[in-house]
A = this chain, B = another copy of it.
Amino acid sequence: MEIVQRILPMKESSKKARSEGKVIGFVPTMGAIHEGHLSLVQEAKKMSDVVVVSVFVNPAQFAPSEDLEKYPRDPTRDAELLSNENIDFLFMPKVEEMYPANYGTFVRVNELSEKLEGVTRPGHFEGVTTIVLKLFHIVEPHFAFFGQKDAQQLAIIRRMVKDLNMDVEIVRVPIVRESDGLAMSSRNVYLSPEERKAATVLYRALDHALARIEEGERKTKTILKEMKEIISTEPLARLDYLSATDLIDLKDLKTLKGKCLIAVAAYFGNTRLIDNIIVEV
């Protein structure tokens, strides 16, 4: 595994790989690597000749009030975990390398970025799409791998790639969960033991929804109401949103049909967690 800190040598390595006819798979991350990230890497390895992982805590996707400063960083451990996976390149640029003085260009995906996460985190997805576009130009991947846990991010990046006529194929990789159902997240380390225990309520609510859908329930009002009741039994949980939408445009559904996304966001103390399931009916 080669660690690359500057844009130019990363570009040169990608161009060399492409010129040799190799397929490049790319996993963009903010580090604090966990099993979820490693499942993205494993999927990338299956589909590509050369695997590039980036570790970059992107300031542009944090609002001033958010957790940029305390976001978990452990580059040495990240490098070790990724090296164990035998990836080819670990791209770890500094903030000044990605956003030099005078930086001024931002890309946004309208509408899709304004709902769900976008309500509580205005500007967040503009930061995400901007850094992902930059990284795609630097790494020039054939495939890029994103976790389903950030389902809205995935929908937005797919839309950006389509709208901007880019060739990279976006691959969705399923959520990896702890044994008690909690979705893997770099932010789980913020949770106190009590909050950590309470946080399983998100998956319990989603699992209930899944069971009800398997029973034949299709009315989202009923399903979301029951999920809300489950979450309200957990005093440490403060619900942000619950939604049932289609998977492409994230439009609210009255009745489940086709591929649907059931998503939830909630606070446990100061920590905001998200989770979701995809169901096809």
Interface residues in chain A, defined as those with a beta carbon under 8 Å from any beta carbon in chain B: 7, 11, 102-112, 129, 133-134, 137-138, 159-160, 163-167, 249
Contacts and interface: CB of A to CB of B under 8 A. Distances in A.
In the complex this chain forms, how many copies of it are found? 2
B105 A160 contact: yes
Given A104-B112, A107-B107, A134-B165, 12 more contacts: A7-B165, A104-B109, A104-B159, A105-B107, A105-B109, A105-B159, A105-B160, A105-B163, A105-B164, A106-B108, A107-B133, A138-B165
Contacts of A102: 159, 249
B164 A134 contact: yes
B164 A137 contact: yes
A103 B249 CA distance: 11
The listed residue with most B CB atoms (<10 A of its CB), out of A104, A109, A160, is A104
Nearest to A166: B137
Contacts of A163: 103-105, 134
A103 B166 CA distance: 14
Contacts of A110: 104-106
A106 B104 contact: no
A158 to B, nearest CB: 11
Contacts of A166: 137
Contact of A165 (B109, B137, B164, B167): B137
A8 to B, nearest CB: 10
A159 B103 CA distance: 8
Contacts of A108: 105-108
A133 B164 contact: yes
A249 B104 CA distance: 11
30 contacts: A7-B165, A11-B165, A102-B159, A102-B249, A103-B163, A104-B111, A104-B112, A104-B163, A105-B107, A105-B108, A105-B109, A105-B110, A105-B129, A105-B159, A105-B163, A106-B108, A106-B110, A107-B107, A107-B108, A107-B133, A107-B164, A108-B108, A133-B164, A134-B163, A134-B164, A134-B165, A137-B164, A137-B166, A137-B167, A138-B165
Contacts of A109: 104-105
Contacts of A137: 164-167
A65 to B, nearest CB: 21
